[in-house]
Chain A
Amino acid sequence: MKGILLKDLYIAKSGIIITLTSLFVLTFGLSFLLDVTAILMLAPAVSTAAVYISITNDASSKWNKNVITMPVTRAQIIGTKYILYILLSAVGIIVVLVSLGALSLMGITVTLYSMLFNAAIGISVALLAGGISLPCVYFFDAEKSQIVYMIAFVASTGIITVLVLLINIFIPVKNNILLAFYIVLAISFVWFAVSYKIAAYAYQKKDIT
């Protein structure tokens, strides 16, 4: 599993560096225009773009076929992409948090509340989008993985809206904004885990040629 992850990092290395540098620059750039913590909404999902680069590369180089003959299980092969996805989301958040720390030292106001709120939305979007797109790219067309990812990204914002409206039936969201979005976050984590289980199960049965 470590070897496959290492391969993914080698493939996506330049993509990861570009994305993280862009996030860093964007955080500083936005600090003069709006609430800078809003970048936390984008960071986790944007950082995961490199996963789709590695998926496309796996398909074009026929690595998918080769790796099945190696001493790794199909569940591990799928699991590696999910781990990479989580890792890159986390790295994206860390890069933005470090930038925010630097900005607050420079005197720009960064509140804990807005950080928690925006991060909850950002992580939820990333998990929901990943949970939709990762199985899709494995079962349909890996070459179109980046398009699938963008559609899933848009769909995830719609899902969050629906979830918030549903939560609002039981808990008044206006008075419990953080709680509502943490419930969404918890649901997103569960969805991501379920997505992995479904993908691993279905990949087990798939013919790879």
Chain B
Amino acid sequence: MNNALSISGLTKTYKDFVLDGVSFSVPSGSIVGLIGENGAGKSTTINAVLGLIQKEAGNITILGKEQLDNKTKEQVGVVFDGSNYPEILSPRRLNRVLKNIYHSWDEHTFLGLLKKLSLPIDKPIKQYSRGMKMKLAISAALSHNSKLLILDEATSGLDPVIRDDILDILLDFVQDEEHSILISSHITTDLEKIADYIVFIHEGKVVFSKPKDELTEQYGIIKCGAAQFDALDKSDIIVYRKMDYEWQVLIADRMAMQKKYPKAMIVPATIDEIMLLYVKGEK
């Protein structure tokens, strides 16, 4: 399978933070969710992919090119956590501006999306709600024949209805197998709905990069007491966390563990729980 985006050994050092050899890929036709707590390195990774920051080491291949030239940029739609367009402009004027920036700008698609999403075309962006601004940014990102969509915290701070609308747009976009999405988000429930793969970054390092189904269908949490915890084979434990009244143990194959420990209470793990256990748990 071809990759729309491949990152290998990406490194960037700041005074108080290091993005340390990040590697993962976005297969064509898939949605990859990038998760991690604030300051974990999600935005730094995306900024390096987009050429906003200079990387110190590593390779980034985007739509088959190692250099993010203008031709490649035409095929990459980007949405940040704000609209990032001059708020004094109306979508009509923004359309004229972007038409003169993107050679592949599709005015009909843009205007059609505005209509579909009920965004007033002559209203200045500053009068839009946050949800409307994000819808506008996504409409613009989808209006220049993008093959890869990169969204950095695009659904943060939005109500569930608007988030759902946006997720529908994204799912619609990847119906074409040539289209792919890299989306970073704090809201892991959104990623559970749409992502094919989950990449978890913690303190500048990729902790895991796995198919979402493997995480949600195979991973599990053993909830047990101290005695039961001591009886567990330590090689079965990915991470564990001691809570007030119980131990929570993350395991990779809950079916197999249920057979091995028939008396144990094993529950499916959500991506949120997996992330929390990795961040706050012990090995």
Contact = CB atoms under 8 A, between A and B. Distances in A.
Contact of A69 (B78, B82, B87, B89): B78
A11 B54 CA distance: 30
Contact of A71 (B89, B96, B102): B102
Contact of B53 (A2, A10, A57, A207): A207
A68 interface: yes
Contact of A66 (B70, B78, B88, B100): B78
B88 A73 contact: no
A66 B84 contact: yes
B52 A3 contact: no
Interface in B89-111: 89, 93, 96-103
Interface of B: 43, 47, 50-54, 70-71, 73-74, 76, 78, 80, 82-89, 93, 96-103
5 contacts: A11-B89, A57-B86, A69-B76, A70-B98, A73-B70
Interface of B is mostly: loop
Interface of A is mostly: helix
A58 B84 CA distance: 9
Contacts of B51: 68-69
A4 interface: yes
A7 interface: yes
A7 B89 CA distance: 8
Interface of A: 2-4, 6-7, 10-11, 57-58, 61-63, 65-66, 68-73, 205, 207-209
Contacts of A205: 54
A10 B93 contact: yes
A188 to B, nearest CB: 31
A10 B78 contact: no
A25 B98 CA distance: 36
A207 B53 CA distance: 4
Contact of A62 (B53, B54, B80): B80
A207 B101 CA distance: 22
B101 A11 contact: no
A3 B70 CA distance: 15
A72 B101 contact: yes
A10 B80 contact: no
Nearest to A73: B70
Contact of B52 (A4, A11, A68): A68
